[in-house]
Amino acid sequence: MSLSTLEAPELRDRGEERPPRRVAAGFFDPRQLVRSLPEALRKLDPRLMVRNPVMFVVEIGSVLTTVLAIRHPSLFAWLITAWLWLTVVFANLAEAVAEGRGKAQAATLRKTRQNTYARRITADGTEERIPASQLAVGDVVVCEAGDVIPGDGDVIEGVASVDESAITGESAPVIRESGGDRSAVTGGTKVLSDRIVVRITAKPGESFLDRMIALVEGADRQKTPNEIALNILLASLTIIFLLAVVTLQPLAVYSGSPQPVVVLVALLVCLIPTTIGALLSAIGIAGMDRLVQRNVLALSGRAVEAAGDVHTLLLDKTGTITLGDRHAVKFIPVDGVDERRLADAAQLSSLADETPEGRSVVVLAKREYGLRTREKGVVLGAHFVPFSAQTRMSGVDMHDGRRIRKGAAAAVMKWVRENGGHPSDAVGPLVDAISASGGTPLVVAEQVPGEPARALGVVHLKDVVKAGIRERFAELRRMGIKTVMITGDNPLTARAIAQEAGVDDFLAEATPEDKMALIKREQADGKLVAMTGDGTNDAPALAQADVGVAMNTGTSAAKEAGNMVDLDSNPTKLIEIVEIGKQLLITRGALTTFSIANDVAKYFAIIPAMFAGLYPGLDALNVMRLATPRSAILSAVIFNALIIVALIPLALRGVRYRPVSADALLRRNLLVYGLGGLVAPFVGIKLIDLFVSLIPGIG
């Protein structure tokens, strides 16, 4: 055993993990505005604009003021017209920038696609070489070292190391093998070693890579229910303000102060919720983009939104809450044996144990007792007994006649009796206590020449809970999310791990039917449920869950059943997905609050400007003391356009999420974005008015 093989478990014992890859989520480059401008101009097509009712009304208003400015030209009319068109362009720019980031990722993915050939196995067992585009579902192909896998499929024979960096960005190869939950392979990845036989499961053009490209481009992005509902609300507000402005002109005529149509259009555009209407689509696209930045592919916007409203998280124990391997955490000697002597014997007997448990025993002895790492070849004249499932023991026979065994309590105590010894009365209670706590006991025994065998003590193995996971669950609890650990362990072990990890509940000895029943119970209470899975037996539950995150290393059935795929196959990422979903909803709510509060200040700018001459008392509402009616109206229109551009980075990055209660979140939202939406226009419009008032004919 080499030293390098000992370092990995040692790191895992400490709960340390590889640092995550740095991602560009939230990064905004101002040059993106320039690059996205042509696309923003193309989106001026009314057939595209009609999908956004608020901005469609602004575009119609821009056309109308353009016609009026041509028929009755004036500097004021042309400036209003120009800024109304800029308002529409800026709204399209927000969406184009968000889509542009996705298209850049899609272009990178396209480069990974190659015109590959497949070695298809025919009915008579021979091989034929055909283009990958001619493969059909059910075809069987052979892939060897150096071959690019021609299509999505499942390994039905063999095991191989596969480079998936083209898909996941992770340079470390992964193992794909038949007959397990790591049998799925993705077209475009490369076999690095050995030989596998793959059954194709996707049609050409419908592979996982093709779906990724379409999704990150945003071409197939459908509006979510929440987004549709908000669009309806914004359209309703637009209609209400449209009716109000239309009815305003007859009243103005009756009062003897008819208003120019250009001014009425400016009033309408400033009063309707243009800010959130312009940014709504960008917020949704950016939410999916943030997931892609973290190597999670959301197969629908609905899934991202649902993640933000999740009430219950179902988390697999192994690999999610715990490190996945049982590690040695303590040496417990018996009958006066020195603890260091027990550690030394346990380390020697574990040198031939290649299991993670055996390696962790070696590491614990080295770390806690300073025992140097000894490789099998260094222990001269020794005969090593490797661990096997049949004997359930490992050990070593030293050159001086000393014999050491380590393994399951029943197996080692039987070895003690066979070699003239008698089981110690102290071993049984220790074994029972460790088992009751959810751990695994390993007994270490020794036989010295001329003496009967005797037990030296017990090694406590424990399924180690990941560092920081308890704090993460506490955060989720503050968010009002219930965490449930799912495990195949017995209830005793499950309870011990659940208490240590800090989960709210657990499901022990779980079967696929048990998982489904739990999800349905939660949903029957009106709760949204999220879960992770990678096996075919997880597919029903993934399909039933509101947010089903399938591991990319899992089976095709699991990936088809889920509505998200984690390309890194890291089950703990479910917690991040929930946070990103909540961030999307919080961002949407914050900017909606800001947009509606924004409109209040515009009343104080435009209404006094329109009627203060007729009704001098309205001048009291001119709290900003704007220079002239024209400068007030133009300043409000300019601010209305510029605020969209100013908020694009926030829409793409998202409002920072903190795990607080709904009440605290609402208070913060109203304080920061409600109050900010009230104050910002007063300051912004006043500053703009100082410059606009200098324009001849306006000021």
Coil/strand/helix, residue 208:
helix
CB of 651 closer than 8 Å to CB of 94: yes
Element (H, E) at 369: helix 356-369
For helices 469-478 and 573-611, angle between their N-to-C axes, nearest 10 degrees: 40
| Distance linking the first and last C-alpha atoms of the chain | 85
**What average pLDDT does the structure give for the chain?**
80
- Residue 114: per-residue pLDDT: 56
* 316 given a catalytic annotation: yes
CA atoms 116, 117, 123, 125: torsion sign = negative
Structure-model confidence comparison of residues 609 and 542, the more confident one: 542
Task: Locate 440 and state its tokens.
Answer: 């695994």
Which residues make Cβ contacts (< 8 Å) with residue 56, sequence separation at least 6? 46, 49, 50
Of the candidates 312, 277, 299, 213, which has an alpha carbon nearest to the alpha carbon of residue 524? 312
Percent of the chain with pLDDT over 70: 84
- Contacts for 495 with CB less than 8 Å, ≥ 6 apart: 438, 506, 508
pLDDT of residue 223: 63
What is d(CA 450, CA 441) in angstroms, rounded to the nearest whole number? 28
pTM attached to this predicted model: 0.64
| 188 exposure class (CB count in 10 Å sphere: 0-12, 13-18, 19+) | buried
Instruction: Residue 564: name the closest of 246, 208, 172, 207 by CA.
Output: 208
CA distances from 315 to 184, 292, 492, 537, 673 (A): 22, 21, 18, 15, 35
pLDDT for residue 75: 92
**C-alpha–C-alpha distance, residues 596 and 643, integer Å:** 13
Nearest Cα to Cα of residue 582 among 460, 475, 474: 475
Mean pLDDT lowest among 33-47, 211-225, 440-454, 641-655: 211-225
Sign of the torsion formed by the C-alpha atoms of 52, 54, 59 and 63 = positive
Annotated binding residues for Mg(2+), written as ranges, equal: 534, 538
Which range has the worst mean pLDDT, 130-139, 206-215, 270-279, 531-540? Answer: 206-215
Q: What is the pLDDT of residues 310-363, one digit of tens each?
A: 889 888 776 667 766 678 888 999 888 888 888 888 888 888 777 777 888 888
Among the options 154, 210, 316, 568, which is catalytic?
316
- For 272, left (φ over 0), alpha (ψ -120 to 50), or beta? beta
Work out the pLDDT band at 106, boundaries 50, 70, 90. Answer: low
C-beta of residue 545 within 8 angstroms of C-beta of residue 522: no
What does the DSSP assignment read for 425-486? TTHHHHHHHHHHTT-EEEEEEEE-TTS--EEEEEEEEEEEEPTTHHHHHHHHHHTT-EEEEE
Binding residue numbers for ATP: 353, 357, 387-394, 406
Say yes or no to pLDDT of 692 above 80: yes
CB atoms within 10 A of CB 18: 8
Domains detected in the chain: 30-102+216-291+597-676 (no CATH), 118-150+152-201 (2.70.150.10), 305-321+466-567 (3.40.50.1000), 325-462 (3.40.1110.10)
Give per-residue pLDDT as tens, 265-322.
Answer: 998 998 898 989 888 888 877 787 788 778 787 776 678 888 888 889 888 776 667 7
Q: What confidence category does residue 516 fall into, taking pLDDT thresholds of 50, 70 and 90?
A: confident
User: What pairs with residue 177 in β-bridges?
Assistant: 159
pLDDT classification of 7: cutoffs 50, 70, 90: very low
SS3 content of the chain, % helix, strand, coil (to 5): 55, 15, 30
Q: Is the per-residue pLDDT at 557 higher than 50? A: yes
| CA distance linking residue 23 with residue 235, whole number of Å | 36
Distance CA 419, CA 212 (A): 63
pLDDT band, residue 81 (cuts 50/70/90): very high
The answer on pLDDT for 474 being more than 80 is yes
How does 564-594 read in b/e, with b if 16+ C-beta sit within 10 Å?
A: bbbbbbbbbbbbbbbbbbbbbbbbbbbbbbb
